[in-house]
Structure 1
């Protein structure tokens, strides 16, 4: 697996490199936004660790350009920044980042995020339609949904077709904030006619089936004034 580390602070870049090479990953460096874009074309990385604040071209613009350029691979992007405000997360994920890591972070957390993204990449790179997160396994081919319980058991979820598809959308883009309009386009397309608040109803029903406490959701979270997002952390 090829990983491109885009970080202008060379000491941090080297720390990330050392951490990931110990785990068997093949890492490359870029120290500014323009060099990152050149490296994406030549290296064709499987995953990019992308700092938000970069010289020449910031991480948001780099992410946006990568998502809009034709490449053999469509790399997963783990955005890294010292900023932790929610708005930064929303902007970063809306430009096409797949996950978001806030400095300072532990080597263990970094490796866990990288492995999770690459696991998704390998599954999606073939024709296997399986989405996996710490608490859920969704098999699109078999149309089965399983929730991993804290007691190390599992529960088969009884979801309607629409609830299943809604969860699949969320799990395919963890952390991405979806507006009601975007979810309608994903689930119904141009065939939809009616009030977009119907999305809230289906969200509520799905929460009742997957959340330990639907009144205080752990997985499907409301982003006030924007929409919804899916998060599944190992410490829940």
Structure 2
């Protein structure tokens, strides 16, 4: 089965589990559902879904721990669902590896819109080049062509086509969202990327003039940048790569 049409729903409330499953099935997914975190982890391992929805409050291990364990082996898009609207929950959820966060009760069309927005972004797993069709010409592309596809800054390199990020020659493990965010910043260079601009870029809605950006969306960008810095080993007060423009957004540090 094509993994791009598979979704996993992890939710202990039977009614909500059924609702989320129905929304995703109507969007064209084959859905596998679980009532606990441990069951959900095994479903993700078995079916390699493109999208996983995950409840925060569950019996046994909670959604935060479940997300961490899933992220250890899977690059599935994770949307966390919770009845709590505290900022600390949003922060913890995104730090656990979630790509997005919805507060219950949510509208079914909102969930579907969030999932569709994520799927507009590249689906290749970070660090794994997508399979290529057999070319008629030489199998190895010209060295200059490969090199031109890399974006570089102070020892940090990103190849958007291959979905690979390297730091000082070593590959970095990033989530899809972190990789997409880093690519946006690397592409922009010293131009300041405003937070709303980054939100729309991650949604694939850059050219939509009336797209809505919430405070939650802006906070999520801050958390994703924080996660990215942590993986790069960078200090926000003395950045090597990503400079914060207070109250505005981010840009690359000066060369």
What range is the shorter-chain TM-score in? 0.5 to 0.7
Q: Which residue of 2 aligns with 1:56?
A: 60
Q: Which residue of 1 aligns with 2:135?
A: none
Alignment of 1:4-43 (within 5 A): 4-43=8-47
Q: For 1:139 and 1:33, locate their aligned partners in 2 and report how far apart those are by CA, in whole Å.
A: 30
Alignment of 1:170-209 (within 5 A): 175=220, 177=223, 183=229, 186=232, 196-197=237-238, 202-204=243-245
Give SS of 1:115's match. helix
Alpha-carbon shift at residue 17 of structure 1 (Å): 1.4
Gaps of 5+ in 2: 131-159, 164-176, 204-216, 251-255
**CA distances 1:118-158 after superposition (whole Å, capped 9, x unpaired):** 2225266646379xx9xxx98959x755xxxxxxxxxxxxx
Count residues with an aligned counterpart. 179
Deviates more, 1:35-44 or 1:79-88: 35-44
Q: Which residue of 2 aligns with 1:160?
A: 190
Tell me whether 1:98 sits opposite 2:128 in the alignment: no
Name the Cα RMSD after superposition: 4.1
**CA distances 1:84-139 after superposition (whole Å, capped 9, x unpaired):** 01000001111111111100111111001111222225266646379xx9xxx989
* Distance change in 2, residues 1:172/1:115 (3 Å): closer
Gaps of 5+ in 1: 146-158, 208-214, 222-236
Alpha-carbon shift at residue 63 of structure 1 (Å): 0.6
Q: For 2:80 and 2:51, locate their aligned partners in 1 and report how far apart those are by CA, in whole Å.
A: 11
| 8 A contact 2:95–2:227 mirrored in 1 | no
| 8 A contact 2:41–2:66 mirrored in 1 | yes
Give SS of 2:67's match. helix
